[in-house]
Amino acid sequence: MKITLNENKEIVKTIKEGLKRTGGYCPCKLKRTEDNKCMCKEFKEQIADPEFEGYCHCLLYYKSK
């Protein structure tokens, strides 16, 4: 398993700016809960699945097999 940042530097820049603005919470989620703190619970659950390959919800991270 390998987790990398999105290759699109503009997406990475935009999401990182959003993370700074929200105090580390996913800028794509409406509620600021611990589950939405980057790296969010949703993506952690996805990467726990050995068959999952893809991006997190906000497209910042990519998991490859």
Q: From the CB of residue 39, how many other CB atoms can be counted at a distance below 10 Å?
A: 14
What is the tens place of the pLDDT at every residue in 19-49?
Answer: 999 999 999 999 999 999 999 999 999 999 9
CA distance 18 to 58: 10
Instruction: Quote the pLDDT of residue 59.
Output: 97
* Global pTM exceeds 0.85: yes
Map tokens 């969010």 to a residue: 40
**Amino acid found at 45:** E
Identify the DSSP state of 49: S
Instruction: Quote the pLDDT of residue 65.
Output: 84
Q: Phi then psi for 46, rounded to 5 degrees?
A: -65, -45
